[in-house]
Structure 1
Amino acid sequence: MWFLNLFIVAVMPVLKVILLTGVGLFIALDRIKLLGPEPNRYLNNLVFYVLCPSLVATSLAETVTFQSFVTLWFMPLNLLLAFFFGSILAWLLIKITKPPKHLQGIVIGCCSAGNVGNLPLIMVPAVCEESNSPFGDPSVCSMHARPYASLSLAVGAIYIWSYVYGVMRLYIKPGIENGSTPETLPTSSTQLAALPSSNGHSNPMHPTGFDGTIAKMSASKKIMRRIKIISEKVDLKKVFAPTAIAAIVGFIIGTASPIRKLLIGNKAPLRVLDSSAYILGEAAIPCMTLIMGANLLRGLKGSDVSRTVILGIIGVRNIFLPLIGIGVVKAALYLGLVASDDKLYQFVLMLQFAVPPGMAVGTMTQFFQLGQCETAVIMLWTYVVAAFSLTLWSILFMWILTW
């Protein structure tokens, strides 16, 4: 019975995602046409610019205080390690399977960015309510469950909308500012010598100096020249997504006590701003899932993603990363970085390595208008497998924590 109850707890949030995806697919059918290409694009822009930023900003502002951040400081590092190891495994997968250029960013996104938001928000409190839960008193466990899951959502969103967004942007839309591929930076001494000098003329190869060696441009000048070239190509306003900016705002509100007292809490004078943003944020996850379902309809008609790539991503997210997560948390315990008596916190840290890819990856591909179908197909199969693997890993995590 304990296994069955845990299976239901773990499988329900995944099934909800699959069912909502099915709804999105249905309303995108040609006979329905409620979520065709144009409405899909408009809805995605609404998610990208309004709903996701609202969700992340309110989650951080309401759950993160300066004290909680000091106490739970290892969670951002744990998530960073999950993204790092996921990226390494994605790089190996790309080397083996050699997918097309525009799919390589999607592979990195799906392998590195897990659904560390809405799945833990549903799963962790539900696990606390189980009578046989290894996390002690259900009331005490539930009191800590939402802050842990909310911090996971917020920190994960920062990484997804900064690192993953930047990586996918480079792979999917190189030179997005002007529609052209960025110029190759000069690397060799001959190329550097041929760069224009301050008087507008090419720099000739320098003559041999008194010591008989060839004079070269100093390392500092090379670095400054490259930084200048890169800074001219990059528009920071376009690199950083609205959700990443919202995460910074939410963190400032949560940790700055005077601002927090103005906005957060039942007695806050400006609490209506926070509650309004929270209502907007609640719509982000279902809207993202509906968009994924609409893209899946096109993906089922044909996509460029191969079975080998899909199996590789499933292997990374459902086998290798959870094993790495166990090692990371055990190492943190050994080094004294995580409190040994907080089993629920350790469970959340391990769970962050075992979840399927984050839905925000699909939002990004829809925003870039490339790779939406392939991402939807990848999401479908990874979530179908996660319905079973997430349950098995949750049981194993609990057994390890009680052993």
Structure 2
Amino acid sequence: MKLLDLFIVAFIPVLKVLLLTALGLFLALDRVDILGKEARKHLNNVAFFVFNPALVASSLAKYITLKSISLLWFMPFNVLLTFIIGSALGWILLKITKAPSDLWGLVLGCCAAGNLGNLPLIIIPAVCKERGSPFGDAHTCYNQGMAYSALSMAIGAIYMWSYVYNIMRICSNKRSEGAKPDDFTESAKPAVETAENLSNSHLGSLLPLKSSSPREDHLDHLELDQANISEGKPKVPLLEKIKQFFQTFAMKTNLRKLFAPSTIGAVVGFLVGSIPQVRKVLIGDSASLRVVEDSASLLGDAAIPTVTIIMGANLLKGLKGSKIHLTLMIGILVIRYIALPIVGVVIVKLAIHLGLVKSNPLYQFVLLLQFALPPAVKSVISHEASY
């Protein structure tokens, strides 16, 4: 294949993303004001709660089977490596640039997750449909590529909310805990302790009751302590301990974010695709309930352009000025475009050498692509307040 033809095949998917992003930026301009702040918020809610889950569920149900899951087992591990290595490199960047603490979560999210999500569903089909595609027959390439992209997107959605979101939440909590007292509002400051307040609150609890004497109080406390020692500490039933453990885990993990709509859509897609009886009823031209899958696919098709347009509209704020230093932005670009792709080549080549990855060029290309996606966090993370 000539070098120019290869460049065109690689450039066309990128050009599609750039055109949609430019459209979103244009619609967000103050003179146009179609995608203003409130419009973006509402459109993002629709994409987050409806379009993305429908896309994940329909893609997995259509292209993933129990056999394909067993063959593609390395992909979840590969995505996890991109997140771990990316966050480690992001942490090193934070230490080198000494970035402010309020940017730690954003930088770690950009370096760890990047734009792993819908982009493979744009890039892979576009590459397969090009005349000079290096992956053979367009129809076979499209079907296999959609299966790989759907699985990559589903795994990315699960890791996004179980890994990246919690990193950003932990960094945000540390920032709140380290805030200075002057940062809080006057309503949060403790009230001034007047003589009347002291007499009513603090001193009242220190004085003994009029109906009792200090001797009687000490005797009562001694009798209570002896009674507690004699009775011993009550035993907590095993079921109660398990219940307390799960309650503590739920409070610390924030399960509502963990089971985001995209994650639920991934679970539904896996179940439909991997259970033959359910798949026969929902998937295929002869399926009795194929209208359900067709409706989900129709909604899912709107996810890719919608999310890309929102991403372009959000760029308007960055063009007007940002407090992020240039060195920090350059560092993120270096991590996502240079360091991670090099690490990805080493990991994928090593996996091929060890026989962990099958000799399918398209599958290997998707694995490499997961290390080389742009440094952007999905718009749902940027608008997490809407959830």
- Shorter-chain TM-score: which interval? 0.7 to 0.9
SS in 2 for 1:336: coil
Give CA-to-partner distance per residue, 1:32-54, whole Å, 9 cap, x none. Answer: 22111111111111111111111
CA contact (8 A) 2:333 2:375 kept: no
Cross-structure match for 2:83 = 83
Distance 2:106 2:168 in 1: 6
1:299 to 318, 325, 339: 318
Structure 2 match to 1:21: 21
Percent of aligned pairs with the same residue? 53
Give, in whole Å, the separation in 2 of the partners of 1:147 and 1:234: 31
**Number of matched residues?**
323
Number of the residue aligned with 1:367: 384
Change (3 A) 1:135 1:43: closer
Conserved? CA contact 1:149–1:348, under 8 Å: yes
Note the residue ranges of structure 1 that are not aligned, 5 or more in a row: 183-200, 202-223, 370-403
Give me the whole-angstrom Cα distance separating, in 1, the residues matched to 2:36 and 2:131: 46
Letter in 1 for 2:37: P
**Aligned pair partner of 1:356 in 374, 378, 384:** 374
Offset, 1:232:
4.0
Query: 1:260–1:305: structure 2 CA closer, same or farther, 3 Å change rule?
Result: same
Give distance in 2, aligned partners of 1:226 and 1:275: 42
Cα pair distance change 1:35/1:262, threshold 3 Å? same
Gap change, CA 1:57 and 1:138, over 3 Å in 2? closer
Q: Match of 1:357, SS?
A: coil
- Alpha-carbon contact 1:129-1:142 (below 8 Å) kept: yes
Give the equivalent residue in structure 2 for 1:49: 49
Show the 5 A alignment for 1:4-403: 4-128=4-128, 134-136=134-136, 140-172=140-172, 174=173, 231-232=250-251, 234-339=253-358, 341-357=359-375, 360=378, 362-368=379-385
Shift, 1:148, TM fit: 2.1
SS in 1 for 2:366: helix
Structure 1 pair 287/134, CA: closer, same or farther in 2 (3 Å)? closer
1:168 is displaced (CA, Å) by 2.5
Q: Which moved more, 1:117-126 or 1:57-66?
A: 117-126
**1:123, distance to aligned residue in structure 2 (A):** 3.3
CA contact (8 A) 2:97 2:328 kept: yes
Distance 2:251 2:145 in 1: 45
The answer to whether the Cα contact below 8 Å between 2:82 and 2:112 also exists between their aligned partners in 1 is yes
Q: 1:358 to 1:158 in 2, by over 3 A?
A: farther
Q: Is contact 1:44–1:367 with CA below 8 Å preserved after alignment?
A: no
Q: In structure 2, what residue type is equivalent to 1:93? A: L
Cα deviation digits, residues 366-402 of structure 1 (max 9, x gap): 2337xxxxxxxxxxxxxxxxxxxxxxxxxxxxxxxxx
The change in CA–CA distance for 1:309 and 1:141 in structure 2 (over 3 A counts) is: same
What displacement does 1:225 show?
9.1
Alignment correspondent of 2:188:
none
CA 1:233–1:54: 2 relative to 1, 3 Å? same
TM norm structure 2: 0.75
After superposition, what is the alpha-carbon deviation per residue over 1:257-276, rounded to whole angstroms, capped at 9, x for unaligned?
Answer: 11111211111111111111
Measured in 2, the distance between the counterparts of 1:155 and 1:23 equals 29
Give 1:328 deviation, angstroms. 0.8
For 2:49, the aligned partner's letter is Y
Per the TM alignment, residue 142 of structure 1 is displaced from its structure 2 partner at its CA by 4.2
CA distance in 2, matches of 1:11, 1:41: 31
Once residues 280 and 177 of structure 2 are traced to their aligned partners in structure 1, the CA distance between those partners, rounded to angstroms, is 48
Question: Retained in 1: the 8 A contact 2:114–2:375?
Answer: yes
Who is 1:210 aligned against? none
Q: For 1:93 and 1:259, locate their aligned partners in 2 and report how far apart those are by CA, in whole Å.
A: 47
Q: Name the structure 2 match of 1:187.
A: none
Question: Aligned partners of 1:30, 1:159: CA distance in 2, in Å?
Answer: 36
CA distance in 2, matches of 1:17, 1:9: 14
Structure 1 pair 231–134 and aligned structure 2 pair: CA distance change class (3 A): closer
- Tell me, yes or no, if the aligned pair for 1:6 and 1:127 is still in contact at 8 Å: no
SS in 2 for 1:353: coil
Structure number with larger C-alpha Rg: 2
**How far 1:17 moved relative to its partner?**
2.0
Moved beyond 6 Å, runs of 4+:
224-228
Larger RCO: Structure 1 or Structure 2 (Cα < 8 Å, ≥ 6 residues apart)? 2
Offset of residue 321 of structure 1: 0.7
Q: Is the 8 A contact 1:104 1:171 kept in 2?
A: yes
Q: CA deviation at 1:30?
A: 1.9
How far apart are the structure 1 equivalents of 2:247 and 2:369?
42
